[in-house]
Amino acid sequence: MTAPHSRLHLLFAASALLAWLQPLSGCAAPDPTPDEALRSAFPDQAAAVLSVGPGFLRSGGGLERAAAGRRGGVVARLPSDGSGEILFSLDGGEALRVREVGAEGEAMLADRAVAYRRAGGSSFWTATPAGVEE
């Protein structure tokens, strides 16, 4: 027969071990999506990034402004992966290719914007009447 204080020590040790292991169990809440994080951190400004313009559509391995029929100026094509090239097509057939430093992972549609993960948060691209804006 075990003494009552030994059972108490055993119960305390088991409880402490379970409490220590619980964070490792994978039961933590998932990371918020980029738009949820933006709305939480900047509730008064989030709509100006996420809910303006015509939005984007997935097209041919990238993303383009949803509104068709815009004439003149620059047309931007965002990559399906943040590490890819952003293609700016200019009037006259010329093109400019750039990369966003630090952007990574799959492009995520976040309301009407596109989000890419990066260290410390996310970058957002919004469709504007003139093209796109980060």
pLDDT digits (tens, 9 = 90+) for 93-108: 899 999 999 999 999 9
Domain edges within the chain: 31-133
**For the whole model, what pTM was predicted?**
0.73
Is 80 in contact with 23 (CB distance < 8 Å)?
no
pLDDT digits (tens, 9 = 90+) for 16-30: 555 555 655 556 668
Q: Which residues of 97-133 are buried (b: 16+ CB within 10 A; e: fewer)?
A: eeebeebeeebbebbbbbbbbbeeebbbbbbeeeebe
The whole-angstrom separation of Cα 133 and Cα 28 is 34
